[in-house]
Amino acid sequence: MIKYTGVSISPPAWARHAILLFFILCTLAVNAQKKITGKVTEDGTSQPVFGASIQVKGTTRGAITDEKGQFSLSVNPGDKLLVSSMEFESQEVTVGAENTIHIVLKKSTAGLNEVVIIGYGTVKKKDLTGSIATLKGGDIKTEGASNVSRALQGKLAGVTVEAAGGDPGAGMRILVRGVGTFNNANPLYLVDGVQVNNINNIAPGDIESMDVLKDASAAAIYGSRAANGVVLVTTKSGKNGPPVIQFNANFGSQKLIKKYDVLNAQEWATVSNMAHDNAGLARLDIAANPNQLGAGTDWQDAIYRTAMMQQYNLSVSGGTEHTRYSFSGQYNDQDGIVDVTGYKRYGIREKTETTKGRLKVGQSLILTRENWTKMPGGWGGQGGNPVGSAVKMIPVFNIYDENAIGGYSGASGPVVNVANPVAQLHLEDITTNVTSIIANAFAELTILPELKYKFNLGYTDAFISHKDYTRRYEVGGLFANPTNNLAQASNRYNLVMAENTLNYAKDFGKHSFQALAGYAYQKYVRDSSASAKNDLADGISELDNGAIISAVSGNKLVSTLVSLLGRVIYSYDNRYLLTASFRRDGSSRFAPAYRYGNFPSIAAGWNISNEKFWSLSPASVSMLKLRGSYGILGNQEFDDYGYAAVINSNINYVNGNQSKWFGAIQTTYASPYLKWENTETVDVGIDAAFLHDKLTLTADYFRKNTTDLLLKVPIPGSAGSAADPFVNGGNILNKGVEMGIGYNDKVGAVSYSVRGTFSSIKNKVLALGTGTQQIAGGQPTHHGADATLTQAGGEIAAFYLIKSLGIFQSQEEIDAYKGKDGQLIQPSAKPGDIKFFDANGDGTISNADRLDMGSSFPSFEYGLGINLNAYNFDLNLFLQGTQGNKIYNGLRQDLEGMNLEYNYARTTLNAWTPTNTNTDMPRAVIDDPNFNARTSSRFLENGSYFRFKTLQLGYTVPTRLLERAKISSLRAYLSADNLFTITKYKGFNPDIGRSGSILDRGVDFGHVSYPLARTLSVGIQLSL
Amino acid sequence: MKKILISVAATLVFASCSRDTLDLTNPNQITTETFWKTESDVKSALAGTYGLFKNVNGGLWGVRGVELSNGRGDDFFIRNDVAALYQLSTFTNTPDNGVSEGVYNVCYRAIFRANQILENVSKVGLEADKEKAYIAEAKFLRGLNYFILVTNFGDVAIRTKVPVVTDDYFVAKSPEKDVWAQVIKDFTEAAADLPVTNYGRATKGAALGMLGKAYVYTKDYVNAATILQSLTMAPFNYSLTANYEDNFKEDTENNSESLFEIQLSDVGGTNPWAGENANETLGVTTAQEFAPGEVAGWFEVSPTDKLFNEFQKEKTTTNELDPRMYATLIWDYPGATFYNKPFTAFKLQFGFKSMFKKYQNYTQNNELKGSKGGDYTSSINERVLRYADIELLLAEALTMQGRTGDAYSYLQDVRSRAKLGLLANGLGQDAMMAEIRHQRMIEFAREGQRFYDLKRWGLLQQEITNSDKVGKQYFVNGKHDYFPIPQSEITTNAKMEQNERWK
């Protein structure tokens, strides 16, 4: 048995120790030296760094760390030690009086020798010509973030990460360089080379690196799927050496940061009575005696809770000369801050790679199971989900009624049908389970030293089962469900891909040459079925028990893609770099004549600092590279089979016997002439390093021009189609700059790094449909008119709103507000009502008066990360924000409308009255004849925010304390997520999290809103 | 090198089968190529066309349609909950009104579908008589949709063909008289080949009735009288039901008084807003939207007091209130019950004296669920054309020709069913018309006739002004006779022009 202790010499390490001994012997004679021991660990993770070189500056003396990151070396006081390792930033340490020394290495960010993953291969960062943003595993802080994409927010220049839905375990929306399509704007995700729908199920701790391919040169090798960018996730591999066992655990608690400030029962009744009095209508009975109502029910308190979360990750990795392996298991359990909701994830992952002779074979497998417990959607009422209902529910109503079927009370009488949020959560059980397989296997044959053939097989399968069980209930007077009902749905997403590639790489003197050619095939199948039954016995939630089949459906979608691909990378003398690539894709989604698309790209780079004439010292500018690229990418994200006209079934009617009469007919027009959406990208970039690489800078300017936009162009209603057909009908331009800056230094015992990202992207719709076409989106409330319009000359989903001009203070003002023919523009207005701007001058207020009121896209967004290390402590901060974007606050439109019978915002207490005129809140009037509550600029808000997203304090236990326990490293940390947010936005969260159409993203809709939680957590990271 | 050859060969093998690889057929749906093979395809296509009449977003007998056709009448109030409804009912609507847009679009959807049937039925190879009857049925459906369009929008586009190329999507509007000509042509041709009985579907009687109505609307009283009169004799045997209320209840649907009604039943899915698919309920939500809040309704509408008072103008022969008042309205009278509760359990919300009872499921406890669990689903068939309407239209067509004597019996038939006494003999044309107008107002309240009746009588301004209708001050005579062409149509169709009065 081999003991891996500090003093024993393990077989792989003995040789290095022999070298060390040699060096020591060589230098012994020269000086009176002392012997020091030390340890090298990785910043952030505190993992030992194996194989790092420690060299005494100006000598040939040195040492190499063992698998525990330890070394010993004879030195003179005052010697400078140069510590370096692949993938890490080099460090210089001056020897003092101490006999032990702890060196923390930071994964290199500029990392010029760093290898960057590109499609179907890798390239050294210094040879890179495309625009790629890379994040290493160590940078993906996992605190408080149960999924990877959440941890990405603000960390990659040009990559926008925003909330998409609020349930725990909900994904994030990732936009690479803005929005260039009205269809699926998600980037292409590849995990270990396999295409997946999302990366939410990947444990953050399993990730070695994430590379986001942003420009056409980087992404063109993925052709038709790459127009929205490509996210390459590489999971961890083993390293040559003895096994390393790592264990991470995190426990946290999440709490609601901000409640919506709504009225209590007495206050509500006061405002309600005022609104009825002003309308000349009878008061509501339930509001009859405000003074006797007290506070009533606080519906928000009734649904929110302090929610616990825990995450564990255990991994084992290692390898020999021939085989490397890595496997891990993850468990994640997160309760939502909304009662009942929760998310659990279990997973195992393994990855091996074996080389024998000319053959290398490898495989990776990720199996995960995710379980969600979700919120109901509002039971068809007008309150929306429990979050929306909790703010709108009138506080006069009670939560429980033990005599009612189901046990809950709720709204009744002549009020808006907002469903009791507590009853929603407890009477309807919604669970979604997803079992996913991501598998990859490859064989690579080295035919000649320079020529390799690789066959890669990828397979993903996601089995999604959804179950929705509703108990029978009578909740108040407005909601009843006479029978127990169950609806089940299952979906399967299956993808098979096969790729054959030939890779040739050879250096001829100063010429370096790499070529790739390949053929790829993929098939994507989506199978869905759903069934529902009513009238189940109490307590039984399986379909067999149901009596009445209420719905059964099922369908299948298949698409295939075949591709030819090629790429040449050439560099001369590390100075001139050239990359050219080409992909030809054929897709089943298009009619035969339009099936194929060609996607070429070309890029060039110039390492100026490698030129002979370069005379600047590395102490000022240590590296400078210019890059430029041009290429075309495609997008085929639209309906399968869209080119053929179909007969829609199940559009039913009733026959004279009052039974179902099955209907079927063509309801929409086909789109037989569709072709690919094309995106042409030009990118120019600069990579630079200063002050001996302490300061690094990457900056890019890009122009992304999407043409032949796949678009549903509204055709005249009189054409009679039930939906608009797809056409290639538009042109969008995105342009922007993005920048990443890093600075690393050390002051005394404190080493620190600062990293910032900055992106500014603007989009413009250059052409749309027939020319005058407008696409409306962003419904803000249950009945509210759309808040955004997309049209040629404007931005995607710009806010087009009727402009509010403040409050009419008197009848004279109303009478003076006349159109060109002398008619009153707002004849129904009374003092205290909102004055709207008659922009088109036609004498009435209508949608034709909408004006461009701003953008949902920020002028710029930014992220700033700071890491500090001193002694055994480390401090990590992350700040992030957006500037210049607007948000349409639909929930406030509901709560400050005072035109509907539900609860109101506290601000309505300040409503205009003849004696309270100095206010921006119009009068309360329940029938709202002037439409004060209409969709207008009144509810448009500044959406800029600055968020202190992460604060983490870690402590690494000194090695000497751990040796006896045979632990190689141990770090404990305290972490706070979403500490505070500075914003003028009045809603729950300026990162509003609206999923669905890209055209809705700047509109905060009460039915789907979700508040932000603050998370406090503790964790340990242990390595054996 | 051998390996290279193998991989190259493998690549070629893959590549060579790529053409087939990319040819996929939709496994879920029939294509237009494979449809139109059997009689059942034609029947399915008809169901898909009929079904739009109940469409929740714009079928004239779906909830929004009923709100639109009634909402502008002097007998009707709509509260400010759904802004588009409130606006149209208070004459403050604009061309972007979603409700009028919905009705417009749904009519054209039905026309697109009816045109498909007309163009494809011959592919099936049916017996000549059958084929003719299906063509007639499709023409009836098309004619009825043009009838809705012309009465609501005036000048509209006439489409009698399925678009073939993109340019065909864009059609200019035709003058109102041309649209009426299309309506009359479709109904005439439909009447020729439709069967006398066709339970729950279009019949010869339905087509003749609508044709007669179209003649009355276009003031062609001679043709109107001829056509309508033919419905009073063999082969037809329509008659008024003894009990007026049988026309608004579920268990007395498709009765002797019915010429055409929209078949509604809770036999589909459970979701009224599911769209056109298996989950969609096959009833309507109108009763729930009209019901008071106390029984889980949304109390969207109310009768005006003008209607409430109109009912009381004439008592029955036994000096009681008109039975039609009890069938149409609920108000505070001794013993009044509604949804199994005394009237005192309800609160009148808007200051009007009554609520609608007609077409409400008031024998249930509330309007939450249909009989099979459909959300808010009412199964009471909406009656499109009743024999009472035929009689009153016929009386009107005769009266307008000065034939008041001939009109008498038809008018009296409607009065007698309501237990009203015999009308005095020898009334002049004006008095006769006044009585017809009074009878139509109370006979057809909440049946979507009042506004259109007033319009063709030229009495909109007068009757709206002398009513207690909310928003009457915003009524502009002429302009509000029609809805504007929807803004979305104007925006997307370069050939379309807005109605002059709405420019």
B24–A480 CB contact, under 8 Å: no
Cross-chain Cβ contact A647/B199 below 8 Å: no
| Structure tokens that stand for A851 in this block | 């004006």
Taking residues B64-91, report their average pLDDT: 94
Per-residue model confidence as pLDDT tens digits over A333-363 = 999 999 999 999 999 999 999 999 899 999 9
Question: Which of A519, A648, A650 lies at the smallest CB-CB distance from B11?
Answer: A519
Instruction: Find the CB nearest A770 among B94, B473, B492.
Output: B492
DSSP-derived pairing of the beta strands A1003-1004 and A886-889: parallel
d(CA A103, CA A48): 10
Is B123 in CB contact (< 8 Å) with chain A? no
Taking the C-alpha atoms of residue B179 and residue B175, their distance in angstroms, rounded to an integer, is 7
pLDDT above 50 for B12: no
Q: How far apart are CA A670 and CA A665, in angstroms?
A: 13
Q: Which of residues 177-206 of B touch A (CB under 8 A)?
A: 199-201
What is the per-residue pLDDT across A65-84, written as a single tens digit (0 to 9) for each?
A: 877 788 888 888 788 888 87
The overall average pLDDT reported for chain A is: 87
Strand A484-508, strand A115-118: pairing: unpaired
- The first and second tokens of residue A893, run together, are 């439109």
Task: Report the pLDDT value the prediction gives residue A606, as an integer from 0 to 100.
Answer: 94
Structure tokens at A211: 């590379």
Instruction: Give the mean pLDDT of A600-614.
Output: 92
Cα separation, B192 vs A150, in Å, equals 69
Contact residues on chain B for A477, CB-CB shorter than 8 A:
293-296, 366
Distance CA B475, CA A946 (A): 52
Q: Which residue of B has its CA nearest to A842?
A: B503
8 Å CB contact between A661 and A655: yes
- The DSSP code for B293 is G
Q: Which of the residues B54, B81, B168, B197 would you substitute to probe the A interface, choosing the one with the greatest number of A C-beta atoms within 10 Å?
A: B81
Chain A residues within 8 A of B56 when measuring between CB atoms: none
Q: Which of B294, B291, B290, B289 is CA-nearest to residue B347?
A: B294
**Sign of the dihedral through C-alpha A87, A92, A93, A95:** positive
Which residues between 91 and 120 in chain B have a beta carbon less than 8 angstroms from any beta carbon of chain A?
Answer: 92, 94-96, 101, 104-105, 108-113, 116-117
Which residue, A932, A749, A50, A901, is CA-closest to A417? A901
* pLDDT at A164 (0 to 100): 62
| Per-residue model confidence as pLDDT tens digits over B391-403 | 999 999 999 999 9
Q: How far apart are CA A43 and CA B26, in angstroms?
A: 54
Nearest chain A CA: its distance from B406 CA (Å): 35
d(CA B206, CA B49): 17
List B residues 274-293 in contact with A (Cβ-Cβ < 8 A). 276-280, 282, 292-293
Q: Is A431:A466 a contact under the CB 8 Å cutoff?
A: yes
Query: In chain B, what residues touch A282 (CB-CB under 8 Å)?
Result: 347-349, 351
Q: In whole angstroms, what separates CA A736 from the centre of its chain? A: 20
- B46 C-beta neighbours (distance < 10 Å), count: 24
Q: How far apart are CA B118 and CA B131, in angstroms?
A: 10
Lowest-confidence pick of A91-100, A154-163, A202-211, B267-276? A154-163
Instruction: Tell me whether residues B294 and A412 touch, CB distance under 8 A.
Output: yes
Residue of B nearest to A669 (CA): B163
A709: closest CA among A724, A728, A735, A725? A728
Residue B265: count other Cβ atoms within 10 Å of its Cβ. 27
**CA-based nearest distance B137→chain A, Å:** 14
Average pLDDT, chain B: 93
Do A945 and A981 form a contact (C-beta atoms < 8 A)? yes
Q: Tokens 């990319």: give the residue.
A: B22
Chain A residues with CB-CB distance to B116 below 8 A: 665-666
Both tokens of residue B157?
A: 């586009």
Supply the pLDDT for residue A344.
94
Domains of chain A: 11-105 (2.60.40.1120), 115-237 (2.170.130.10), 376-572 (no CATH)
pLDDT tier at A113 (50, 70, 90 boundaries)? Answer: low
Nearest to A697 by CA among A622, A606, A794: A622
The share of chain B scoring above pLDDT 90, in percent, equals: 83
Does the pLDDT value for residue A125 go beyond 80?
A: no
Q: Which alpha helices (H) appear in A382-498, and where do they start and end? A: 386-392, 421-427
Q: What are the CA-CA distances from residue B484 to residues A657, B108, B137 (Å)?
A: 39, 16, 30
Name residue, tokens 């099955």: A662
Q: Are A420 and A475 in contact (CB under 8 A)?
A: yes
Q: What is the pLDDT of residues A216-227, one digit of tens each?
A: 888 888 887 888
Asked if B351's CB is within 8 angstroms of A280's CB, the reply is yes
Mean pLDDT for A460-464 is 95
Q: Where are the beta strands (DSSP E) in A471-547?
A: 473-475, 479-481, 484-508, 511-536
The answer, yes or no, to whether residue A1 has pLDDT greater than 50, is no
* Placement of tokens 């109107």 in the chain: B224
Percent over 90 (pLDDT), chain A: 51
Confidence tier at B13 by pLDDT (50, 70, 90): very low
Tell how strand A34-42 and strand A100-105 pair up: parallel
CA–CA separation, A757 and A762 (whole Å)? 17
Cβ separation of B18 and A485 shorter than 8 Å?
A: no
Q: How confident is the model at residue A103 (pLDDT cuts 50, 70, 90)?
A: confident
Q: Does the beta-carbon distance from A453 to B7 stay under 8 Å?
A: yes
Task: Give residue A83's pLDDT.
Answer: 83
Which residues in A lie closer than 8 A to residue B101 (C-beta atoms)?
717
Query: For residue A454, which residues of chain B lie inside 8 Å, CB to CB?
Result: none
Tokens of A184: 């699926």
Q: Is the pLDDT of residue A116 over 90?
A: no
**Amino acid, res. A674:** L
Contact A656 B79 (CB under 8 A): no
With beta carbons under 8 A apart, name residues in chain A contacting B9: none
- The secondary element (H helix, E strand) that includes residue B230 is helix B221-230
| Domains, chain B | 35-194 (1.25.40.390), 286-380 (no CATH)
Residue B57 Cα, gap to closest chain A Cα (Å) = 12
Mutate to test the interface with A, among B8, B29, B115 (most CBs of A within 10 A): B29
Asked whether the predicted pLDDT for residue A699 surpasses 80, the reply is yes
Distance of alpha carbon B144 from alpha carbon B111, whole angstroms:
9
Query: Is residue A478 scored above 60 in pLDDT?
Result: yes
- Cβ proximity of A220 and A600 under 8 Å: yes
What pLDDT score was predicted for residue A165? Answer: 59
pLDDT band with cut points at 50, 70 and 90 for residue A32 = low
**Are residues A652 and B282, on separate chains, in Cβ contact within 8 Å?**
yes
Give me the mean pLDDT over the A765-788 stretch. 85
Measured CA angle at A160 (ends A154, A162), to 5 deg = 90
Instruction: Tell me the ipTM for this assembly.
Output: 0.93
Would you tell me the crossing angle of helices B39-50 and B98-120 to the nearest 10 degrees? 170
Position A184 pLDDT exceeds 80: no
Q: Distance between CA A375 and CA B301 in Å, rounded?
A: 33
Task: For residue B198, give every residue at least 6 positions away whose Cβ sits within 8 Å of its Cβ, in sequence order, or none.
Answer: B137
Nearest CB among B79, B156, B373 relative to A482 is that of: B373
For residue A785, what pLDDT is reported?
A: 86
Distances (CA, A) of A831 to A809, A824, B17: 5, 14, 75
CA B46, B47, B52, B54 torsion: positive or negative?
Answer: positive
Question: Euclidean distance between the first and final Cα of chain A, in Å?
Answer: 17
Nearest CA in chain A to B8: A500
Q: SS3 for B471?
A: coil
Return the SS3 of A882.
Answer: strand
